[in-house]
Structures are given as structure tokens and as C-alpha cells.
Amino acid sequence: MAVQELSLDVALHIKYWHRCLKNVLPTGYTSMDSSRMTLGFFILSALDLLGAGAETFPEDERANIKDWILKCQHPDGGFCGSPNHKYPDAAYVDVGHGKQTMDPANLPATYFAIMGLSFVGSLDGVRRDDCLRWIKGLQREDGSFGEFITQDGVIQGGTDMRISYAAMAIRWILKGDYDSSKEDGADIDVDQLVKYIRSGQTYDGGIGESSRHEAHAGYTYCAIASLKLANRLSKSKDSEPISGLTNVDSTIRWLVSRQTGYTTESDEEEEGDAEHAPAVKLQGIYTEEPAHEDEEFVGFNGRCNKRADTCYAFWVGAAINMLCQEKVELLDIPAIRRFLFEQTQHRIGGFGKCPGDPPDIYHSYLALAALATMKEPDLKPLDAALCVSIQQKEKIEQVRKAALV
């Protein structure tokens, strides 16, 4: 194909995200009703990356968004995932051992709500101490975090790295990376969390829901970013405090292996054959050869032998970015850009999950985030750990410092 300069059509993507911001999402999004905070964050942060962030909105629009997010704050600390999980204030009556929880706050939703607030105003509406105390209550003995806590104090929800990541990101926003667990009773147990994350490495070098599960790029990103936000990613000289991944070299090998060559022809083949491969016997016949040709596109999969999917360009690219910093570029960036621009970008703006798919908010945001991690010229540079622009990260740091003075 002819070599042509690929560039991001910023105006087209801003248009897509404005539609997401202003229009009511189609009924099909009902199954994401409990994650509206997440969708809201993606919309605000995408516009920020594109240089059309909330500072360009009319003041009353920013104030309304801020009110909407704050209305989802739970009286016991933390935020609910959407107004459908939040009751009128009068409903939270005291039931003898605190206010009635009803539908409790949710940890990932809280991360997205606080990030969302950072775009449209300040964090002064966040009840910081309640929030930190609530997060501490979500940590289990093994160091992992749950998503929410019931009225009876039972920690519920998954145990995986995504939830730990949300906890560490909120802690970073509200407290910074200073380890105050020794002198401050309200902090989480960072040592225990680091141990938990380090024990999540699988035999092939990635990180899974736990070390017994299959390695998965999303969990691998969340584990690395959690360590980064706790300032525990790079190994310290002395053994205290414990830092770093168990085996960085094998994690890097696993991450670069997520790059998968993608040609439009072989894709059609895959639809028919590889996905429903015929029964085979395990015996000594060579059935295929390593590729000699240059691949036109390079996508990423989230697990070994899975198909390329837009979002993994972020989960993998950002994870490698954190592990290697600026030192070395391990990925085939031109081919990845070709995959995103020519295969999953949609003509109405936004990106789909796989080639030919309609755009959705989640993949559209993570595609922009992936491009921003790879220093796409028309996007603000991204902070890989916090998954927002570096400019926004600096803004949050300033807000925190001002609040702590």
C-alpha cells in the first residue's frame, strides 16, 4: 500500500465525543447503567486529550456536571456507579450502627467519580476522610480489595487487580504516594497490597486474576499501575520496602508477545478456520511456519492466541511504557498506529473493538489513550499510570497540595 502520513482527525473525534456528552446514549447502553460514572470519565478525559476539555464548556455546564457527580456520593464515603444506585438523602436513616447503606458505594465508580470531578471543578466536594476510611475498610487480609461493603461489614465483589488499581489511584489522588500506613491509621496496608500484586504473576510472565489464572493484559496493566502509583514499581536497593514485579524480564516478554500481526486476508481465514479449528491429534506434523513477511498492521490481544482488540493497545502499551519509561521503545509503533487508524477507527469518529465494529465509548477512549501513550502529535501526552493527560495529573497534584496545606 502507498505510504501516507497518518494523522488524527481531531475535529472528527471531538464531534464524536461531543455527541457522547450531549446526546442521550441509545437504549443498548442500559446494561452499562451501573457504570455511568465510568462512561462519564471517559467522555471528559477524551475531550481533555483532544484539547477540548471541560475548561472549554460554559461555566454552568461544568457546575451541573459537578453537582451530578457529587449527588452520587454515598453518605458512608465513596461514590455510587450511577444515580440509579443512589437514594434521596432522607432515605439514609440511622439504623443503630451507622446510616442505612441500602445500595453501597462502589470502588471503581469512586475512582471514576473523583477523576471526573477533577475535570469539572475541584475535589472540595469529596468527603476525603470518609472516602479514605471507607477504602481502608474494603481491603482484605490478603491485601486485595473488594468493590463494596455491605451494611454488615462484609466485603463483596471481585478480588482482581482492577479493584486494587482503583484503590491505589484514589489513594494517590487524595494522599499522594507517600507511605503513611505506619503513622496514619486511616491508610491502607500498602505492603500487603504489594505482596498481593507480586504473587499474581503467572507461569508465562503476565499477571492474571491471581497467579493460578490465565495471564490477562488488563490485569497486568492494573497490577503495574498500582505499583507505580504506590511508588513501588522500581526495585529499591535495600529489601525494604518490597518493590517491583517478581520477574520483570518475563513480564516484558509476555507484554511484547501481545503484539499480533494482522492482515485483512488472514482475518477472513481466521473467522472460518482458526476459531473453530477441526479436531487434531497431538502428533509430529509441522502445520505452520513463522511469518517472514512484514505485517501490514500490528494489533494487540489481551491473552495468548486471542484476536486483536483495540483496547489492548492501551493496556499493553501503557504497561510497557511504565516498565521501560523513556529508555527504550519496544513496540512497533508505526504498525500499531496503522491498525488503529485504518482498521478500528470509525468514519463517524471514535473507535470500535475490532475491525468493522461500530465505535463504543470504552474502546474509543482507550484507543485515544493508547495513541497518547505513544506520543501521538495531536493529543496531549498521557500519564500511563493514571490514564489521564500529564497536564491533568499535574492539576490534580496541585489541588491535593493546596488542600493539604
Partner 1 sequence: MGKYEGDPVWDDVVPIPQDDGEGALAAIAYTDEYAEAMGYLRAVMAAKEYSPRVLDLTEHIISMNAAHYTVWLYRASTLLALNSSIPVELEWVNNVALDNQKNYQIWHHRQILIDHLYDSMSSDPAALKSLAESEVAFMTEMFNEDSKNYHVWSYRQWVVRKLDLFDKGEIECIETLLRQDVRNNSAWSHRFFVVFSNPKYCTPGSKATEYDPKIPGEILDREIEFAKAATFEAPQNQSPWNYLRGVLKKGGRKLSSLECFAGEFVKIPEVGEEDIKSSHALDFLADVWAQKGENEKADKALTLLGDKYDRIRKNYWDWRRTSLK
- CA pair distance 352, 361, nearest whole angstrom: 9
Residue 202 binding result from partner 1, Zn ion, none, given CB thresholds of 5 to 8 Å by partner type: partner 1
Query: Given the complex with partner 1, which of 125 and 176 has the nearer CB atom?
Result: 125
CA contacts within 13 A on the Cβ side of 60: 0
Query: Given the complex with Zn ion, which of 139 and 260 has the nearer CB atom?
Result: 260
CA angle (221 as vertex; 223, 312 as ends), nearest 5: 155
Q: Which segment (124-132, 172-180, 245-253, 345-353) binds partner 1 by CB under 8 A?
A: 245-253
The reply to whether 20 sits near partner 1 by the rule CB under 8 A is yes
Helix (H, G, I), strand (E, B) or coil at 200: coil
The reply to whether 264 sits near partner 1 by the rule CB under 8 A is no
- Among positions 222, 298, 323, 374, the unique one binding partner 1 when judged by CB under 8 A: 298
Alpha-carbon dihedral angle through residues 237, 240, 242, 248, given to the nearest 10 degrees? 10
The reply to whether 39 sits near partner 1 by the rule CB under 8 A is yes
- Among positions 8, 16, 17, 35, the unique one binding partner 1 when judged by CB under 8 A: 35
CB 226 within 8 A of CB 168: yes
CB 55 within 8 A of CB 61: no
- Among positions 6, 51, 83, 269, the unique one binding partner 1 when judged by CB under 8 A: 83
Query: Given the complex with Zn ion, which of 224 and 311 has the nearer CB atom?
Result: 311
Minimum separation from the CB atom of position 401 to partner 1 (A): 27
Minimum separation from the CB atom of position 309 to Zn ion (A): 4
Q: Which segment (153-161, 167-175, 263-271, 377-385) binds partner 1 by CB under 8 A?
A: 153-161
Angle, in degrees to the nearest 10, between helices 107-120 and 128-137: 160
Residue 147 binding result from partner 1, Zn ion, none, given CB thresholds of 5 to 8 Å by partner type: partner 1
- Tell me which residues in 299-318 interact with Zn ion (CB under 5 A): 309, 311
DSSP for 317-355, written as a single string: HHHHHHHHTTT---S-HHHHHHIIIIIIB-TTSSB-SST
Q: Which segment (144-152, 171-179, 181-189, 223-231) binds partner 1 by CB under 8 A?
A: 144-152
Residue 40 binding result from partner 1, Zn ion, none, given CB thresholds of 5 to 8 Å by partner type: partner 1
- Among positions 2, 4, 30, 265, the unique one binding partner 1 when judged by CB under 8 A: 30
65 φ, ψ to 5°? Answer: -65, -45
- Among positions 97, 279, 326, 347, the unique one binding partner 1 when judged by CB under 8 A: 279
- Tell me which residues in 341-400 interact with Zn ion (CB under 5 A): 353
Q: Taking CB under 8 A as the rule, which mask of x and - marks residues 303-342 in contact with partner 1?
A: xxxx---------------------xxxxx--x-------
Where does residue 395 rank: exposed (0-12), middle (13-18), buried (19+ CB within 10 A)?
middle
- CA pair distance 209, 212, nearest whole angstrom: 8
Residue 311 binding result from Zn ion, partner 1, none, given CB thresholds of 5 to 8 Å by partner type: Zn ion
The reply to whether 227 sits near partner 1 by the rule CB under 8 A is no
Residue 21 binding result from partner 1, Zn ion, none, given CB thresholds of 5 to 8 Å by partner type: partner 1
CB 13 within 8 A of CB 61: no
Cell matching residue 97 = 450502627
Cell matching residue 251 = 513480564
- Tell me which residues in 365-404 interact with partner 1 (CB under 8 A): none
- CA pair distance 281, 23, nearest whole angstrom: 54
The reply to whether 187 sits near Zn ion by the rule CB under 5 A is no
Q: Give whole-number Cα distances, 289 to 273, 294, 295, 308, 381, in Å.
A: 17, 14, 15, 20, 39
The reply to whether 50 sits near partner 1 by the rule CB under 8 A is no
* Binding-residue total with Zn ion (CB under 5 A): 3
CA angle (14 as vertex; 351, 39 as ends), nearest 5: 60
